[in-house]
Amino acid sequence: MTGNVKIVINGDTYELPVVVGTEGETAIDIGRLRQMTGLIALDPGYANTGSCKSSITFMDGEKGILRYRGIPVEELAEHSSFIETSYLLINGVLPTKEQLNQVSMLFNDHSLVHEDMQIFYQNFPRGSHPMGILSSMVNALRSFYPELQTIEEEINITVTRLLSKVRTMAAMSYKISRGHKVVYPRPDLSYCANFLNMMFDTPVRPYDIDEDLVKALNTFWILHADHEQNCSTSAVRLVGSGRVNLYAAISAGIAALWGPLHGGANQAVIEMLSEIQEDGGNYQRAIARAKDKKDPFRLMGFGHRVYKAYDPRAKIIKKMCDQVLLKLKIADPLLDLAKELEEAALKDDYFIEYNLYPNVDFYSGIVLRAMGIPTNMFTVMFAIGRLPGWIAQWKESIDDPDWKLSRPRQIYTGSGKKRYTPMDER
Ligand code: CMC
């Protein structure tokens, strides 16, 4: 579809332009709707609203397609590393060997976290959720690393700092929460190997780096690296649109990701599967509850706003689950339960009618569990993976010639004008 769309209001015709993307996605540009007609568009949850034009990620929910800068996520998961994919997302092209080496060196230079930040970690109350801690600490980075002289330097160094330090901060937070000595990053290790080493190396049991696990972690993070205008990315763009610093915008993204309907679903899936297991493995009861409209229970790790077919990321993670468990010689009863639950749900009329398929979070917790990541850190793992996507989207938004402060409108449904009632008359 090209050209214009005509809308008729009270007999008057207005023409609104149609915008077409490179993959044929079409939209009506309503940028001047209110000026022309006095009306606004109402779209709760923005289900039909394109908030920007973007050249980063393409998704086709009906066909189960996901591509970063045009490259299918399946190819990246198989051949790329998380750092290479991050470069691709942020810079728009795959790096040369020299560029990749340069990035790795920069990551090493910026991998340490200011020692004073450890005091904060030590003083969060026990039981604080790691996502709340991460969001606060990323925001606090601005105080430790004040603004640099030039905009270019500020952006480049801040991006490098975030990508490198957030991984150190996550591992540091885990070590401190266990009362263990913090393990520092090592320049001889790759990004993912370094993270695993910082998490699991101890003075009494040196961590043995397993290249298969390193590959699995690379794949896990690649699959989470971007997902166009989802809740947390929109939060980063919206908060960033006020021209706040990047640390604050990313901190907002982390807070948005925490929710169980979004990134928090990976933790919620394992909790749900564990409850079903305690209930004697009665997954049919969980399916029945998910279908019952009077019960708020939902099958966690199922359904997606955009995918109305199998989530391509879930396909890869499901396969990875089998490989990782086999390699580590782990028999996880939750994996068997997850497979039985998936099979039953996919045959069920309700799930067929609503196009509910497993999403990325359905199997990811099982892989993370096998790696030794504690359940309450699953969403932190998602956040580390999503960081390059948030950064790429933020960068695109600040360079966008159509940039505007994000400020939706509303339809007011409250009381009409009324007089203030003094206290003794109420
Ligand atoms: N179990 C049972 N019913 C469901 C589910 C589910 N997992 N997901 C959607 N539905 C039903 C829902 O009850 C509603 O029914 P009705 O129209 O009769 O009221 C209908 O499907 C549409 O639901 P919705 O919430 O309006 O649709 P949405 O497109 O906003 O839903 C979702 C997307 C992810 C919020 C939802 O599928 C869900 O809550 N899933 C469980 C949580 C989850 O796994 N989240 C991770 C998403 S993937 C990771 C990420 O990128 O964030």
Q: Look at 180 and 226; give whichever has higher pLDDT.
A: 226
What distance in Å separates the CA atoms of residue 157 and residue 225, rounded to the nearest whole number? 20
Note whether 392 and 280 are within 8 A (CB).
no
Paired tokens of 226: 């971007």
Per-residue pLDDT, 259 = 96
List the Cα angle 222/131/129 in 5-degree steps.
140
Q: What's the mean pLDDT in 323-345?
A: 94
Cα torsion 340, 346, 348, 354: sign: positive
Please give the positions annotated as active site. 304, 361
Paired tokens of 360: 């990325």
Q: Do domains 4-60 and 74-402 have the same CATH topology?
A: no
Query: Is 186 buried (19+), middle (13-18) or exposed (0-12) by CB count in 10 A?
Result: middle
Instruction: Categorize the per-residue pLDDT at 2 as very low, low, confident or very high, splitting at 50, 70 and 90.
Output: confident
Q: What's the mean pLDDT in 268-288?
A: 95
CB atoms within 10 A of CB 223: 28
Closest CA to 376 of 113, 178, 139: 178
> Could you tell me the fold of the domain covering 74-402?
Citrate Synthase; domain 1 (1.10.580)
Paired tokens of 189: 């290790």
Cα dihedral 167, 172, 177, 182 in deg (nearest 10): 150
Closest CA to 66 of 218, 235, 225: 225
List the Cα angle 127/256/151 in 5-degree steps.
110
Domains in the chain: boundaries: 4-60, 74-402
Q: Look at 356 and 148; give whichever has higher pLDDT.
A: 356
Question: Which of 227, 285, 297, 354 maximizes ligand 1 atoms within 8 Å of its Cβ, making it the mutation to test the pocket?
Answer: 354
- Average pLDDT over the chain reads 94
DSSP H or E segment with residue 162:
helix 151-177
Please write the tens of the pLDDT for every residue from 189-211: 999 999 999 999 999 999 999 99
Site of tokens 């940028």:
31
Please write the tens of the pLDDT for every residue from 119-169: 888 888 888 899 999 999 999 999 998 887 778 888 889 999 999 999 999
Hey, which residues does 319 pair with through a beta bridge?
none
Per-residue pLDDT, 118 = 86
Which CATH number is 4-60 given?
2.20.28
Q: Ligand 1 centroid to 209 CA: how many Å?
A: 38
Please write the tens of the pLDDT for every residue from 384-401: 999 999 999 999 999 999
Closest CA to 215 of 193, 200, 195: 193
Per-residue pLDDT, 266 = 94
Per-residue pLDDT, 401 = 93
Note whether 335 and 366 are within 8 A (CB).
yes
Per-residue pLDDT, 121 = 86
Instruction: Give the whole-number percent of the chain exceeding pLDDT 70.
Output: 100
Q: Ligand 1 centroid to 355 CA: how many Å?
A: 10
Please write the tens of the pLDDT for every residue from 12-65: 999 999 999 999 999 999 999 999 999 999 999 999 999 999 999 999 999 999
DSSP H or E segment with residue 107:
helix 97-109
Instruction: Categorize the per-residue pLDDT at 347 as very low, low, confident or very high, splitting at 50, 70 and 90.
Output: very high
Please write the tens of the pLDDT for every residue from 88-97: 999 999 999 9
Paired tokens of 237: 């763009």
Question: Which of 302, 350, 393 maximizes ligand 1 atoms within 8 Å of its Cβ, making it the mutation to test the pocket?
Answer: 302
Name residues whose C-beta falls within 8 Å of residue 347's C-beta, 6 or more positions apart in sequence. none
Per-residue pLDDT, 408 = 96
Please write the tens of the pLDDT for every residue from 287-324: 999 999 999 999 999 999 999 999 999 999 999 999 99
Paired tokens of 218: 């690379």
Is residue 174 pLDDT above 80, yes or no? Answer: yes
Q: Which residues line ligand 1 (CB under 6 A)?
A: 227, 230, 261-263, 265, 290, 298-305, 354, 356, 359-361
Sort strands 4-9 and 12-20 into parallel, antiparallel or unpaired. antiparallel
